[in-house]
Amino acid sequence: MAKRRIVLLGPPGAGKGTQAKRLVETTGLTHLSTGDILRDEVAHGTDLGNQAKAYMDRGDLVPDQLIIDMIRGRIETADGFILDGFPRTVAQAEALEKITPLDVVINIDLSRDEVIRRLSARRVCRSCGRIYNLLSNPPQVAGKCDVCGGELYQRDDDRPEVIKNRYDVYMASTAPLIKFYQDRGILVSTDGRRPTDEVFAQITAVISA
């Protein structure tokens, strides 16, 4: 029986967003990304969005309970989902258990060195915002956007020293979820170093089983 309640885990740069979008196209499941949900709630001026915006405007983290309430509303109206970017902590995972059972948690494993290598190769067009990767999707002309000819630059959060910190934060807060879901017998890991198509094929096999 196909699995319809899925969580994707993995460090920054592991390709969770890419895999989630491909899975949505082939399965019809709803992609629930906390970042997208937060932006949508704020943009539509919902009660939860307005509460979250007050924290964001002060530069504070949005509290767990607000994020959980946003997720709850989306889960309750979705006929199956792929969660990407949530839960981030064991406390969030415990809260999620009270909302819905999960069918499978897929961990896209990637080392610190590989995360730094991948993300530090990312470049963005100053004019149109198109994203390139010098390793996997380089521009035809170095430093120039293929679409508009704009200058490509490296965002501050794609610099190696920032990426190292993002990875360390992930390992401290999110990596404990691996044991949490292992203990529940629903964790499957895949090697994030493999080509995107191979990772996608393995994930598809897991959720179809």
Which residues does the annotation mark as catalytic?
A: 16, 88, 122, 155, 166
Assigned token pair, 56: 């964001």
* Rounded CA separation 104/182 (Å): 10
Query: What dihedral angle (degrees, nearest 10) is formed by the CA atoms of 25, 106, 89, 73?
Result: 30
* Rounded CA separation 101/45 (Å): 30
Write the DSSP assignment of 174-198 as a string of letters. TTHHHHHHHHTT-EEEEETTS-HHH
* Rounded CA separation 52/55 (Å): 5
CA distances from 137 to 10, 124, 128 (A): 21, 12, 16
* Rounded CA separation 187/125 (Å): 38
* Rounded CA separation 64/7 (Å): 17
Sequence-separated (6 or more) residues with CB below 8 Å from residue 54: none
